[in-house]
Amino acid sequence: MSISQEAKLSLLGWSFRGAGVSVRERVAFTADEIREALTKLSSGGVISEGVIVSTCHRSEIYSFVADDGARTALTRFVSEWRGLDQAELEGSSFYRSGGDAARHLFRVAAGLDSLALGESEVLGQVRQALSLARESGTTRAVMHRLFESAVAAGKRVRTETEISRHPLSVSSIGFELARKVFGDFSRHRVLVIGAGETGSLFARHAVEAGVREPVIVNRTLSRAQELASGIRGRAVPWESLAGEVPQADVVVSATSSPGHVVTRPAVEAAMRERRGRPMMFLDLAVPRDIAPDVSEVYNVYSYSIDDLEEVAKENRARRAREVPLAEKIVEEELETYLAWLGNLSVVPTVIQWRNHLDHLRDLELERAPAAERERLKGQLDAFSSRILFEPMKRLKGEGDAARKLDRVEAVRHLFDLDKE
């Protein structure tokens, strides 16, 4: 099934599949820039409806346009607005239209077109894109239904498949391993060595799981303090590391140190102080921060980044096995949307509208005396025709395709024609 010709859905985008980081950075939109761009595109007559999805891996402009020159017009707009070379933008962009554009959006919302297969954050980003477009006044019935349907597809994929349930980042995998060992994280202490991206991600996971005041140690104390303040943690100087290790149940290390930050003698001393209570060490650094022989200490669980990468590899394979089912869900939701959109053309709606009134007429005639039914039928038919004449004329004569679809949708909603 194809999208209604009246709708003319188009998609112009730049993603990790064809555009380098330097291009994606320059065409990325903040929330305020999305509002500004949509307002300019709409007021300038370039689009009749539009939504912009912008993440670190993609910037995509979904729109309903009045002519077939959408790709050129939108590329020119981004080029002039951003001060970028139009030929470079064209060479790194991709374009979809009609049902292909809709299918792409559904796959994006489902995490099937993400750098990390099954990424869950993108669903919220699609939802936010719709919200920003509504604030800008650039989405009406058709575009709103398109994005709501895409979000519904994404939710179904996350609920009915396991494509998002197996973590891929080493931080997330390490966190899941720690939860398996210790169970309720809220009763345990976490020490994070290194305030970079990897350590920060684990610290945030821990706080979300209920850990109170994770301890952050970093060679530069100010960076540890910055991370700690954002998660209600506690920053301590690097010199205090030895005293903090025995207090921690889980130690995560992700520094750029050339040598081992935690050694076996230090761990053995910590275990004596802990009276043998179990500890877990997650070494997320390259080269290693935790000495390999730490794992030989009794009641110590130690995992290196290689161990976690092996789990990540298996998890990627698990997610990949869910793709066929996820694609099937996407196609089901897309078919539902396209069927709804196909009904928005004027002719089938007018026919259904007329049939609806005929049904109501027949119900009334059943109540009338048999001798009066033929006369009443003629009067009711004439009355219905007079009622429908002007609305049908206005629907058929509307020149703005998006506004016509809005009005058709209003008729279908008010008279509950989709139910029929």
Identity (one letter) of the amino acid at 371?
A
Partners of 12 in the β-ladder = 61, 95
DSSP, collapsed to helix, strand or coil, labels residue 233 as: coil
φ and ψ at 9, to 5 degrees?
-70, 135
Q: Do residues 129 and 31 lie in contact, with contact meaning Cβ atoms separated by under 8 Å? A: no
Catalytic residue among 2, 20, 25, 56: 56
Identity (one letter) of the amino acid at 193?
I
Partners of 62 in the β-ladder = 11, 51
Name the pairing type of β-strands 234-236 and 215-217. parallel
φ and ψ at 160, to 5 degrees?
-100, -5
56 is catalytic: yes
Omega of the bond leading into 287 within 30 degrees of 0 (cis): yes
C-alpha span between 416 and 408 (Å, rounded): 12
207 Cα distance to chain centroid: 23
Identity (one letter) of the amino acid at 296?
E
C-alpha span between 348 and 346 (Å, rounded): 6
C-alpha span between 214 and 343 (Å, rounded): 56
Tokens of 306: 């290689």
Tokens of 278: 């179990």
Q: Do residues 150 and 106 lie in contact, with contact meaning Cβ atoms separated by under 8 Å? A: yes
Three-class secondary structure assignment of 158-213: HHHCCCCCCCCCHHHHHHHHHHHHHCCHHHCCEEEECCCHHHHHHHHHHHHCCCCC
C-alpha span between 240 and 255 (Å, rounded): 16
DSSP, collapsed to helix, strand or coil, labels residue 64 as: strand
Going by C-alpha positions, the residue among 128, 121, 124, 122 that lies closest to residue 35 is 128
DSSP, collapsed to helix, strand or coil, labels residue 312 as: helix
Indicate the Cα dihedral angle 74, 80, 86, 89, nearest 10°.
Answer: -60
User: CB within 8 A of 99, min separation 6: which ones?
Assistant: 1, 2, 3, 334, 338
- Residues taking part in catalysis: 56
